[in-house]
A and B are shown apart, each in its own frame.
Chain A
Amino acid sequence: MAAGPRVLYHATGGGLGHGMRVLALARQLSRRLGGRHVIVVNTPFAAALTEVARREPGVELIVAGGDWDRLVALLWQQVCLCPDLWVIDTLPRGVVGELVPLLEGWSGCPRVLIARPLKPAYVREYDIAAWVQCHYDLVLVPGERGPLAELDRALLLPPFLIRDREELPSCEEALDLVQAHEPVVLVAGSGSEEECRQWCVEGGRMAANWPSGAPPLRVAVPPGVAVEARLLIRHMPLIECMPAVRLLVGSAGYHLVHEARFAGVPGLFRPRRRQYDDQAGRLLAGEVAGADLPAQALECLSRPAPARTETVNGAALAAERIADVLLRVNRRRRTPDRT
């Protein structure tokens, strides 16, 4: 058995974001503490997450399928293995409320919530702030303030990223990843398989009238997504391509937007409707993609690139804080109770 703690992560929900955020944290914790880091996901993009996780020692993915009963049974199985810490992403009650019976009926280890913002109506209708106050020990706010950022136990942090700045490849290495000789305009598919296909079509439209002197176009989709497109790349994690990207085009998901800002790459993003995530609220005025995307992209390329955000990876800071919590808990466990 690996030395170090056993940490259970819960990242149910569609898309790549939930899994990527906990992977970003898990790899930082694994470096600091060793141990086993078990991530439960139910996304159709599990193949892409597996591609990232297989490079991280001590980190493993469990892909949950089936109905609510099977999901709860799987979680009971995991909590019966007595994790030292439970980290839950974004949805404090689980995407279909699967965490409610566990968090109310079991208190075997500290619980940490990664609190990407939720829509205010959900927070209000389900009294989420009170729920979190009652059932969580620490709330990590990863770069975007939502209703839960006001809680006493909230810790405000920069965005969680899957790579630290010093881990990003050089421009030359990144050019190999995007299969080009000069930095590219990257159209990135994410969100759902259907949205990936839509971005492939959009990339094809852009390529049809793309000026010969402009930076080359590439279309990126996560591994495992069944699409065919010209100029296609499938590298994961996408942030490793950023040093070779002149302009990023895609949906306004958490990671695409923050990875572009982190790397100083201008972005044109199209907000998509999500049940819990307000993608439009994430964007600055100049980042919103319009109807004439090719013209807007060329105009954007004629301007100087924005300065990159000089923040460190929030996942690294969170890991420091959690390691401190875990160590304190473990120390307390080792100290005999004298009363």
Chain B
Amino acid sequence: VFACARCGKRVCPQHAWPLAADTFACVSCAHERDYYDAADTDNDSDPYFYAADYRSRSGFTETADPKDFQQGDRAALAEDEGGGWEDDAGGS
């Protein structure tokens, strides 16, 4: 468990966004501009930052879209690619 460098909230590793020098931010703080720019991660493909992306474009409202992807959608969005290759003589 990490502590958010801005608000001090305790966050699990999956929801902690790395900043410079071994510090982390919670998702809410990472959405704020300074932290977003400082985050050492590729946010373009992360569901938490889709909203940050489209809010910055003209023509969209600032209200959150209730149908937006959330962390819980990660499994549904991931491609079922399998694994354990060449382990099972009954694979097909």
Chain A residues in the interface with B (C-beta under 8 A):
12-15, 17-18, 42-44, 71, 90-91, 93-97, 119-122, 125-126, 192, 273-277
Number of chain B residues close to chain A: CB under 8 A: 14
Are B91 and A13 touching (Cβ within 8 A)? Answer: yes
The reply on B68 being an interface residue by CB < 8 A is: no
Which 5 pairs between the two chains have the least Cβ-Cβ distance?
Answer: A121-B81, A14-B90, A275-B91, A13-B92, A97-B86
Q: Which of B81, B86, B88 contacts A119 (CB 8 A)?
A: B81
Q: Which residue of the partner chain, among A18, A71, A96, A121, contacts B86 with CB atoms under 8 Å?
A: A96
Do the beta carbons of A122 and B85 come within 8 Å of each other?
yes
Q: Could you tell me the distance in whole angstroms from the C-beta of B20 to the nearest C-beta in chain A? A: 33
Give the residues from 75 to 92 in chain B that come closer than 8 angstroms, CB to CB, to chain A. 79-92
Residues of B within 8 A of A274 (CB): 91-92
- Flag if A121 contacts B83 (CB, 8 Å): yes
Q: Measured between alpha carbons, how far is A95 from B90 in the docked complex, in Å?
A: 8
Q: A42 contacts B89, CB within 8 Å? A: yes
Residue of A nearest to B85 (CB): A122
Cα–Cα distance between A18 and B92 once the two chains are bound (Å): 8
Which interface residue of B84, B89, B92 has the most chain A CB atoms within 10 A? B92
Given contacts A96-B88, A121-B79, 15 further A-B contacts (CB under 8 A): A13-B90, A13-B91, A18-B92, A44-B90, A91-B91, A95-B90, A95-B91, A97-B86, A121-B81, A122-B85, A126-B85, A273-B80, A275-B82, A275-B91, A277-B92
Residues in A whose Cβ lies below 8 Å from that of B90: 13-14, 42-44, 95, 192
Binding site for A on B (CB under 8 A): 79-92
Q: List 14 A-B contacts (CB under 8 A).
A: A13-B90, A13-B91, A14-B90, A17-B92, A18-B92, A42-B89, A93-B86, A97-B86, A122-B85, A125-B85, A126-B85, A192-B90, A273-B80, A274-B91
Q: Within the assembled complex, what's the spacing in Å between the Cα atoms of A119 and B81?
A: 7
A274 and B80 CA atoms in complex are apart in Å by 10
Minimum CB–CB distance from A131 to chain B (whole Å) comes to: 12
Given contacts A12-B89, A95-B89, A95-B91, contact A275 B84 (CB under 8 A): yes
- Return chain B residues, CB-CB under 8 Å to A120: 81
Quick one: closest B residue to A273, CB to CB? Answer: B80
Q: Most chain-A CB neighbours within 10 Å: which of B81, B83, B90?
A: B90
Q: Find out whether the CB atom of B92 lies under 8 angstroms from the CB atom of A14.
A: yes
Residues of B within 8 A of A119 (CB): 81-82
**C-alpha gap A93/B85 in the complex (Å):** 11
Contact between B89 and A96, CB atoms less than 8 A apart: yes
Contacts of A97 in B (CB 8 A): 86
Question: Which residues from B are CB-within-8-Å of A91?
Answer: 91
Instruction: Give the residues in chain A near B83, CB-CB below 8 Å.
Output: 121
A residues less than 8 Å from B87 (CB atoms): 96
Contact partners of A93 in chain B: CB under 8 A: 86
**What is the minimal beta-carbon distance from A61 to any residue of chain B, in angstroms?**
17
Q: Write the nearest CB–CB distance from B90 to chain A, whole angstroms.
A: 4
In angstroms, Cα B79 to Cα A110, docked, is: 36
Residues of B within 8 Å of A14, CB to CB, are 88-92
